[in-house]
Amino acid sequence: MRKGAQAMIHYEEPLYRPPSEARSLIFQATIGCSTNTCAFCVAYQGKSFKVRPEAELFAEIDWAATHHAGVRRVFLADGDALVLSTRRLLRILARLYSRLSHLERVTVYGSPQNLQKKSIDELRTLREAGLTMIYYGIESGDDEVLQRVHKNATAREIADAGAKPQQAGIDLSATVILGLGGPRLSDRHAQATAAVINEIAPRYASALTLMLAPRSPSFEAVYGDETWRPLTPVEALAECRVLIDHIVADAITFRSNHASNYLALAGDLQRDKNRLLEEIDAALGDPTGSRLRPDFLRGL
C-alpha cells in the first residue's frame, strides 16, 4: 500500500463465507486454507496459504470504522482463520470491537486440526473477547470416508475437537456432506455422522449435498474407489433421512436449505424431528419428483 493511500478493504478472490453470514462484513485475516487437501473442496485450490500482515488488516478495520460504522456482524475469512495464534486473534478481536462500536458478533471457520491446538481456556478467552461462533466441517463420521476424502482427521478427533468450543461458551455450527460415501457407504456414512453430531451436540447443524465442481485432481481420483458414484436425488434424500433419524441429541437447530440440497428442510431437533421425517417421506413418495430442487437450480 502506498504511503498515505486509503486502506479500503482488499479481497483476494475467490471469497467464501457461510450462507448465514450474508449480511456480515468480511475481513480476510488469512488467505486460503492451511490444510487444503479435502477432495470435495474447490474453494482454495488456486490459493497458497498465507497470513495477512497485521498492519494491513488493521488499516482495513480502521477504514471500515469510518465507512461502515454501523456494522453489527463480522466474519473472519478465509478457510481457517482460527489457525492464527490465540494472541493474534485476541489482537484482531480487540481492534474490531474497539473500532466498530455497534459490533455484536464475530465468527470464523474452524477445522479439527486448528481446534485440537486450542485449549478450552484459550477458546474461553476468545469468547470473552467477542468470538461468538465457529463454523465447523464434520463432513462425515465414518473413518473410511474421511480417509478417502483426505479430511486428515479421524471421527474421534473431529468429535473431540468439536466439543471444545461449546465447553468454552462459543456456539458451534457444524456441517456434514450428504453423498460423500457414495451408494456403498451411504447408510454407514449417515449413521456414523449422526453419532458424531450426537456426541458434539452442536447448537446448529447443516447438511449439504456433494456437488462435484471441476478440480485437479478430481474427486473421483482422490477418493480412489472404482465403485463410487454420485448419489441420485432419491438416494441423497434417503441418506438425509437416515441422518436425521439417528440424531438423538436435543436443542439442535437443523437446516438442509443450502442451494446444493434437493429438499430444503428447517427445524429444531428433537422438537421437529417427526415433521422433518414426514417431509422427506412425502418427497420420496412423490413419483414426479416435483418437491425436489432441479439440478439447474442447485449450486455451491
Angle between helices 86-99 and 54-67 (to 10 degrees): 20
What is the mean predicted confidence (pLDDT) over 166-170?
A: 97
Residue 180 pLDDT level (bands cut at 50, 70, 90): very high
pLDDT at 107 over 90: yes
pLDDT at 5 over 90: no
Judged on CB neighbours under 10 Å (0-12, 13-18, 19+), 5 is: exposed
What is the mean predicted confidence (pLDDT) over 178-207?
A: 98
**What pLDDT does residue 12 have?**
92
Q: CA nearest 281: which of 243, 238, 244? A: 238
**What pLDDT does residue 6 have?**
55
Mean pLDDT check: name the lowest of 94-98, 99-103, 214-218, 296-300. 296-300
**What pLDDT does residue 3 have?**
44
- Delimit the domains of the chain by residue range: 19-288
**What pLDDT does residue 2 have?**
39
Q: Is the pTM higher than 0.85?
A: yes
Residue 290 pLDDT level (bands cut at 50, 70, 90): confident
**What pLDDT does residue 216 have?**
87
The answer to whether residues 204 and 171 touch, using CB atoms and an 8 Å cutoff, is yes
What is the mean predicted confidence (pLDDT) over 281-295?
A: 85
**What pLDDT does residue 43 have?**
86
**What pLDDT does residue 298 have?**
73
What is the mean predicted confidence (pLDDT) over 209-220?
A: 91
Which position has the higher pLDDT, 293 or 89?
89
Look up the CATH number of domain 19-288: 3.20.20.70
